[in-house]
Structures are given as structure tokens and as C-alpha cells.
Structure 1
Amino acid sequence: MKGEREVRKPGLDTSSAWLYQYLPHFKVRPNFESQMPLHIETPLIESRSISRKVGQSIWLKMESAQPSGSFKARGIGYACEEYLKRGAKRFIASSGGNAGLAVAFAGRRLSVPVIVIVPETASKRAVNLMCLENAEVIVQGKSLDEAHRFALSLMQPDDAYIHPFDDPLIWRGHASLIDEIFRAGLKPDAIVLSVGGGGLLCGVIEGLRRNRGADVPVIAVETEGADSYGKSLKAGFLVELANISSIATTLGARIVCEQALAYSREHCIQSVVLPDQAAVSASLQFLQDHGIVVEPACGVALAAVYEKVAALSEYKTVLVIVCGGVGSTADHLVELARREYDGI
């Protein structure tokens, strides 16, 4: 009609007027990120390519998709939230890479300052990623044990020390990945995972227990030269390695947590130890199969499947925890493979 004109609301097409009924439900959240959890529910997928190669149904829990790049986001995020509730004003951690990055990520999201002590073996990539999360990173010591001792020397009354693996809070957080698997309706015949200090192992067994999965065996995989758990299982007591000689430096705990050994007396846990070459090869095969980079510390669990180890021969449905890790790139894996092949 004459004198009338079309009125449009800024930024909205009135042809989509049906959207208006939903607008009252949208709330503006200036600090949206602070409302988000510190870990995500990761994909659970059946790997058709790996299944075809090995003749079993292989399922993957893709912890490499966590915001910090590894499963560490679960337990460490949970622990950081708990320590903040208890009054912590600063987080201090020692790490070979992935745990430190998880603490740095949690600290930034929770607005808590973070100091991470890393040994000289930590990758530059991991250190740079921690710095991007606003953490203060200090390189100290030739081993994780030396970094750990230095970190403890920095502790003040209002600080919380975030251990990379030996803390019941961390195990409780890691157990959430088993909650997700069972909620999805999958009960595997066996679970395969990498073992460094034993935190993931403890979390998985805690999760199995609370989901009526205590009868599911766990295959604990390590690389030669970082196999403190395998040696402890054979000895029947905790064995401390003199040093870490594996390239899988993020598995570099010279001694595992006591609870990991205690669980071996209550739960069916089988140890598998494979060479570095198998871990690197599996990481490269996984990159080819799924287009995802994982470091050798994660690759060694995949190697147990690719190599068809005897410990898995009797199981039809196998779940592998793809624990992730940020210490490697595709180029780095190729270089490691070249070194292993040349015997460097």
C-alpha cells in the first residue's frame, strides 16, 4: 500500500520468520568458553580398514580428539576442577608433554596460573603448545623424575600439584571414557591401551567396575625401554627402571603407580611389550588408515592389533584406546621410521 514500507530487523531475513519463535530461548553468554566442559565425549568408531587387515572387529575410542590432544584432558581436567574447589590458586605440574598440556589447557579455561616443568626430552612442539595455553614452562632435568622433584620444590601453600598419573582424582576422570563406551552399547571382549605411569589403566579399570565390566580383560602395552609395568607384573612388585631408552618418551615413567600393580591382582591384565619400530610403524599405518597422527606412545597400543599379538588372538571384538598425543607430526613419524630402519 502507498506510504507503507518493508521493515527488516538488523541481521535477520524476515522470510525466515519461523526462527523468531526460538529467539527468546537464546541467551547471550559473554564468557561462553567458561561454560564448556574441559573434555569432550570422543568418537567411538569401528575401524573397517583395521578390522579387515586383522580379521577381528576393531573399535577405536578416539581420545586423540580431546581439546588438549590426548586422554589426559579427562582426568587432569577433573582433578584441576576439584583442586580449584578446594582453594588452589595455582597449578604446578611436571610432564613429558601431554599431561602438561592438559594442565595448561585446564588452567587457562579455569583462569588459574600454571607452571609446567618438563625434562629435556620433551618435544619442542609440546612445549610450544603449552606456551600457547599461557602456561609458564620450565625445562629442568634429564628425566621426568628430575622434573617432578623440581616441580615439588616450587610448591607454595595455595598451589596444587597436578601429578601426571598418580592421583585417584585423575583415575576417576579417566573412567568417564568407559562410561561413554558402555552408554553407547558396546561391551568389548578386550580393551587395548598404552601404559606409561598407569593412570589411564587405573581409570579404565575403575570405569569397567562401575559399568559391570569387571570381566573385560585389559591388554597393557608398552615399548621396550619404557616397560616398567611389564617388569613389575613379572616380578610381583614395583620395578623402577634405571632409565628410559625408548623413543616413546611420553611413556617415560621409570616406575608405575602402585594402584596399577594392585589392580593386576584383582583384574585380568596382560602385559605386551613391543619394540620402538613396531610403535612407529603402527603410527604410520594408522595415519594411512584413518588420516590421524598419533605419537609412538599411542601407536604401540595400535601395534598390538596390527601385529596380531598372541594376547589378542582369542577375542572377536577388541577396543583400542587411541590415547592421542601431541608430540609428533607426520614428518616426525617418517623421520623416526627412517632412523629405526637405518639403525641410528
Structure 2
Amino acid sequence: MTLHINTPLLESRPLSQATGRRIWLKLDALQPSGSFKLRGVGHACESHFARGARRFVSSSGGNAGLAVAYAGRQLGLPVTVVVPETTSAHAKTLLALEDAEVIVHGSSWHEANALALTLVGEDAAFIHPFDDPLLWTGHASLVDEVAKAGVVPDAVVLAVGGGGLLSGVVEGLQRNGWEHVPVLAVETEGAASFNASLQIDTLVELKQIESIATSLGAKRVAEQALVCARQHPVSSHLVTDLQAVRACERFLHDHRVLVEPACGAALALAYDGQRLGEAQNVLVVVCGGATATSEQIVAWREALTPA
């Protein structure tokens, strides 16, 4: 029994027709908390619970915080989530819906995270949004499910924020004997900390995030993301905010699933067949995102579209 569910794996006819190849969708937008985060967060929470934790603390106004709140409610433990002032009212409503205590602090995730760390007492476990081996092992289950379904991709497309999903997918590929399967790691141009780090093979911290894809808004990725790029074929790709938002709208029309611009970044690459290289059997991780609304997507697109 796990807190996450085995999500659907579907061939996308619209994407396959658009690109001239077979495009497979791993629909982690359908996880109970709204994103792939529940895989790793659920695994971490269950592990800490088994070791005696009786409370969870998190620092995320987005999908990681929602996953911790969901996991805590399922395990019967109280959850405190510290969010920055930039967190939307909708996100705070979703956290409250999961019975989490929400504390607003600081202008960025880094400030919220600093406060969250001071709240971790003896009986509490801190659940990091992306930089924890427990998370990566949990996220790797996504690849296990693809393997069990009998689909063998020759490329995987995913979005990179802090690098937790990338680290987990690479772990999953390697433990299933798919060391040769390349990963196409996608960021928006204003949140490209992984791309910057990859260029000089050392961690780079961005001065600020200049993208609406706030779920990709880690100023610095986890060290493990670079380790994965050294040990596995990983290529970095950038899309604009407008391309990401347009991909969200197109995906909603094609598959009736609403995702955040962070997920739209990966979908933007998938819709552009020319950027998929020679791969003919492509797995796209539809990582989801619960905090965006259709109204927001439309407003972003209108604001970003040149006059």
C-alpha cells in the first residue's frame, strides 16, 4: 500500500499526430494531491512515520506542500506548511482543505524554508520539496510502472525545477536497465538554474526567478541533478513562458487535463517534434500541478502574447 496511485499511461494521438512519432503520457497530474510530488513525498512521509515521526513540517506553497498535507492527513498526523508571501490564495485554500496549518513568511521559498527548519522538533520530520534521496526513490516508481506496462521509451521528456523528478526518473531508468534512454530536461528561460549549472558542471544559483512557472522556481537545483547528468544521458532544453502556457491550453483541449506552466514546459517540447531528436517512442511525464486555474492560464497567455 502506497500513498500515491499507479497513474494511467496513455498514447497521445494528438501529440503523436503532431510529431510523427509515438508519444506516451504518464499522467501524474491525476495523483490525489495533483502532481507527481506525492510519489516521493509519500515515500518520505511513510518512512519517517515508521521511524516514529508524529508531525510533518514542509516549506512549499505549491505541489510539495500539498503532497505533504495529503500524506499527513492520510497517516493521521498534523502538518505545518510554511509558504512565502507570493503563494496564491488558491494554493492556501487547497492546503487548508487538507487540514494543514499554513504559516505565511518571507518573500521567497528560501525565507519560508529557513523558518520551517526552526519548527522541526524532536517528534517532527522535515520534508524537503526536492533534495532528499527518499524523494528520488519514491519518484523512481513512475518508471517502474512504465516498465511493468511493457512500454520501453527511447527518450523521456520531463520538467526540471529543483531536480527531484529528474533524479528520481534517472534512478528509475537505471534500476530497470534503461541506462541508455536519454532524458530531455526542460526549463523555462527565466527559471533555468539546471541549464546554467550544466554549462559549467557546477551548481549555479540564479539571482532571481523571472518566470511564471513558479513550480520550476528553484534558484539552485539539487546537487544530485548534476550527478545524474554526469552518470546518464541528460540534455537541457529551454522554452519560453508563452510556449509553456500555450502548451497548457493545447493539452487541456487535447486531453481535458489542466496542468501548470511548469508541466507545460515539458509539453511544449513534446508538441515540437523537431526538438525530440531521433526518438520515435517518447515518454512525457505529465507532472501536473494543482495550484493553477484555467483563468490564470488564459490571463498569463494574454499578458505574454505580443501586441
Give the secondary-structure state (helix, strand or coil) at the position aligned to 1:272.
Answer: strand
Once residues 237 and 175 of structure 1 are traced to their aligned partners in structure 2, the CA distance between those partners, rounded to angstroms, is 24
Q: Which residue of 2 aligns with 1:177?
A: 142
Moved more, 325-334 or 301-310: 301-310
Q: Which residue of 2 aligns with 1:322?
A: 286
Q: Which residue of 2 aligns with 1:79?
A: 44
Q: Which residue of 2 aligns with 1:339?
A: 303
Pairwise CA distance, 1:141: 1.3
- After superposition, residues 198-217 of structure 1 pair within 5 angstroms as 198-217=163-182
- After superposition, residues 106-255 of structure 1 pair within 5 angstroms as 106-255=71-220
2:88 is the counterpart of 1:97: no
CA contact (8 A) 1:121 1:249 kept: no
CA contact (8 A) 2:18 2:273 kept: no
Give the secondary-structure state (helix, strand or coil) at the position aligned to 1:265.
Answer: helix
Once residues 263 and 222 of structure 1 are traced to their aligned partners in structure 2, the CA distance between those partners, rounded to angstroms, is 16
Give the secondary-structure state (helix, strand or coil) at the position aligned to 2:190.
Answer: coil
CA contact (8 A) 2:184 2:235 kept: yes
Once residues 89 and 309 of structure 1 are traced to their aligned partners in structure 2, the CA distance between those partners, rounded to angstroms, is 50
Once residues 62 and 292 of structure 1 are traced to their aligned partners in structure 2, the CA distance between those partners, rounded to angstroms, is 9
Q: Which amino acid aligns with 1:109?
A: Q
Once residues 240 and 291 of structure 2 are traced to their aligned partners in structure 1, the CA distance between those partners, rounded to angstroms, is 19
Once residues 51 and 191 of structure 2 are traced to their aligned partners in structure 1, the CA distance between those partners, rounded to angstroms, is 35
CA contact (8 A) 1:91 1:114 kept: yes
Q: TM-score, normalised by structure 1?
A: 0.88
- Picking from 259, 264, 279, the partner of 1:299 is 264
- CA deviation string 1:62-96 (max 9, x = no partner): 00010000000110001000001111111000013
Once residues 302 and 174 of structure 2 are traced to their aligned partners in structure 1, the CA distance between those partners, rounded to angstroms, is 42
Pairwise CA distance, 1:305: 1.4
Moved more, 177-186 or 88-97: 88-97
Pairwise CA distance, 1:342: 4.8
CA contact (8 A) 1:122 1:249 kept: no
2:229 is the counterpart of 1:264: yes
Q: Which amino acid aligns with 2:96?
A: C
Give the secondary-structure state (helix, strand or coil) at the position aligned to 2:282.
Answer: strand
Residue 82 to residue 273, structure 1, CA distance change in 2 (3 Å) = same
Residue 96 to residue 251, structure 1, CA distance change in 2 (3 Å) = farther
Q: Which residue of 2 aligns with 1:287?
A: 252
Pairwise CA distance, 1:309: 4.6
Pairwise CA distance, 1:138: 1.0
Which protein has the larger Cα radius of gyration, Structure 1 or Structure 2? 1
Pairwise CA distance, 1:56: 1.3
Once residues 340 and 120 of structure 1 are traced to their aligned partners in structure 2, the CA distance between those partners, rounded to angstroms, is 23
Q: TM-score, normalised by structure 2?
A: 0.98
Once residues 309 and 95 of structure 1 are traced to their aligned partners in structure 2, the CA distance between those partners, rounded to angstroms, is 35
Q: Which amino acid aligns with 2:206?
A: L
Give the secondary-structure state (helix, strand or coil) at the position aligned to 1:245.
Answer: coil
- CA deviation string 1:187-206 (max 9, x = no partner): 10100000000000010011
Once residues 19 and 225 of structure 2 are traced to their aligned partners in structure 1, the CA distance between those partners, rounded to angstroms, is 29
Give the secondary-structure state (helix, strand or coil) at the position aligned to 2:187.
Answer: strand
Give the secondary-structure state (helix, strand or coil) at the position aligned to 1:219.
Answer: strand
Pairwise CA distance, 1:123: 2.1
Higher relative contact order (CA 8 A, sep 6+): 2
Once residues 89 and 24 of structure 2 are traced to their aligned partners in structure 1, the CA distance between those partners, rounded to angstroms, is 32
Q: When the two structures are aligned, how many residues end up with a matched partner? A: 307
CA contact (8 A) 2:163 2:221 kept: yes
Once residues 231 and 245 of structure 1 are traced to their aligned partners in structure 2, the CA distance between those partners, rounded to angstroms, is 14
- CA deviation string 1:249-288 (max 9, x = no partner): 1111110000110111110000001110000000000011
CA contact (8 A) 2:187 2:239 kept: yes
Once residues 224 and 309 of structure 1 are traced to their aligned partners in structure 2, the CA distance between those partners, rounded to angstroms, is 19
Once residues 114 and 133 of structure 2 are traced to their aligned partners in structure 1, the CA distance between those partners, rounded to angstroms, is 20
Pairwise CA distance, 1:147: 1.0
Which consecutive unaligned segments of at least 5 residues does structure 2 have?
Answer: none
Give the secondary-structure state (helix, strand or coil) at the position aligned to 1:241.
Answer: coil
Once residues 118 and 90 of structure 2 are traced to their aligned partners in structure 1, the CA distance between those partners, rounded to angstroms, is 26
